[in-house]
Chain A
């Protein structure tokens, strides 16, 4: 049976333990959230020795199931003060699973200031001094770690933002090509890793066997159908590999839901210049890579390598939400400037959403002019020098708003809203308000309303049905996160009722279980209950499940407002 690997960062010791009964069958987000609920006092300071940082592969991670290499990272968030699960690609999840490690838990914190790194191999767990890497950016860090420990070892590292324990700090992961383009970005978990003085974690699965499959033949048969399902669907098989998620810039703009100039309007005049179509054309022209996976075994390949005008590597994993945050939110229309800021965030280890929104708040506060991409880049670079202004930006949108005396701050539970205006796509607004994560679009992704029994069509501009849809999507998303699957499998599952059954069949063939689809729904509900309970203990109440007042203003072009009552919103998280 897989083990829990506990690391005491103060004593620099480790131990393996057999998981207790209540967590033995859990993986991914289900496991991180249960362990945080059970083991972290909800009222503790997130940067104190009482907080823990849990890395857990999903239930299917390490198996041959396509798109199953996602990792959940959990802890108490320094940004929101509530529970956090941040999800990432990279190489760590599959390698931990192959090493038989169900969860890696960082505990306690050192009393001295020295940085360490942890190297996990088949027969060893080592602490190594890492002071020589202090101040090193994530891109260079991966290069150094691959030179030292071998190409394609898995890495998780923090940059200067995590070292400074800034509340937008991410944990960055090497992708299969060794770029730092994958992140557990949201909620400041990089600051938790920094508080425990762990600069990097290296996971090498050399010499391990494949993960055991209870019924290899059955697994193989389902996985074959699963791959066909993913590759034959127009979204996962064609749209995502061709344009990445950035294709949404034009679409969401057309829908009047692309937040522009700090959520003043739903359309950006220059959307075409920062669109996925423009990105794809630049990649073609400059010799980047249009489609690559964030982990081995990905058949969707929505990631990419984006080169600069001189055809040199600029950034990878260039996502819609990043382009929005530094783009229309800030009125910046030069895609290369935005790509540079994505690169800086990867290198410094910063969440691109909270950081981009914070830059817009700095424009709101008069620090730099709206739309000035070059000034925004210089401002962001201050995070790398430890300049006080950099510390303000690196602590996220809510902190920046407070520091600059700005009253127009789009956050829920102090986490910045992502790239969809809640007044024009109301179900996502309900998710922003009510998810235990703080404003998060991935907490209620577009999944299978048919399977979960929600009928009826949706009008994004009206309240009808949108609370129920958000609730359903939050349940389904939590379950996908527990399986270790990429969220984009949701698109084929949405359109093919057999899709969810395939996921269940693969879990059954992997572990020798006889789960049914209802069990998956119940798993999603139990995850949310754990997370809500942690937040309740931490002091959150229904008044924290609100959008800021700024959303009571009408937003063009549809001139809709945010008009849910507290009672209506409460239904979304009532189980």
Chain B
């Protein structure tokens, strides 16, 4: 058991706020063995609503195991800035190994 600090941004923040789901510097309880995807499932956030998830300030896969005190930020598609590429939100479309499973959308 433990907790994580959770933030949602952009359209997701708007959506979760409308549902009264805490999403601004929210402290959420964490169960042992939970990964990012489990946390999103609990909050009712579908994978296609996500472009990237920060775990402790770095873009991380959805199966990343969470630990007590982790900081999570979730970002929907539609975020501008050169940093989509430079932060690793978008990987090279050239390289098959970099493609996300849902990149055909």
- A-to-B contact residues, CB < 8 Å: 234-240, 242-243, 245, 247-248, 250-252, 254-257, 266, 272, 276-277, 280, 302, 320, 420, 425, 427-428, 441, 444-446, 449-450, 453-461, 466, 469, 473, 488, 490-491, 494-495, 497, 557-558
Contact = CB atoms under 8 A, between A and B. Distances in A.
15 contacts: A234-B76, A237-B78, A239-B79, A245-B80, A248-B83, A250-B10, A250-B13, A251-B79, A251-B83, A254-B9, A255-B83, A302-B80, A458-B91, A460-B87, A490-B82
- Chain B residues touching A, range: 35 or more
A297 to B, nearest CB: 19
Given A497-B93, A557-B57, A446 B79 contact: no
Task: Please classify the interface of chain A as helix (H, G, I), strand (E, B), loop, or mixed, using the class held by over half of its residues.
Answer: helix
Nearest to B75: A251
Contact of B91 (A243, A245, A457): A457
A425 B86 contact: yes
A476 to B, nearest CB: 11
A420 B86 CA distance: 11
Given A469-B86, A495-B90, A455 B95 contact: yes
B67 interface: no
Nearest to B89: A251
Contacts, number: 142
Contact of B85 (A277, A455, A458, A461): A458
Given A235-B79, A250-B7, A445-B82, 9 more contacts: A234-B51, A235-B77, A250-B10, A255-B58, A276-B10, A450-B93, A460-B86, A461-B58, A491-B80
B83 A250 contact: no
> Which of B14, B71, B79 gathers the greatest number of chain A CB atoms within 10 Å?
B79
Contacts of B77: 234-235, 238-239
B85 A494 contact: yes
Contact of A458 (B25, B56, B79, B86): B86
A277 B14 CA distance: 8
A239 B81 CA distance: 11
B98 interface: yes
Contacts of B7: 250, 254, 272
B104 interface: no
Contact of A494 (B14, B75, B90): B90
A420 B85 CA distance: 14
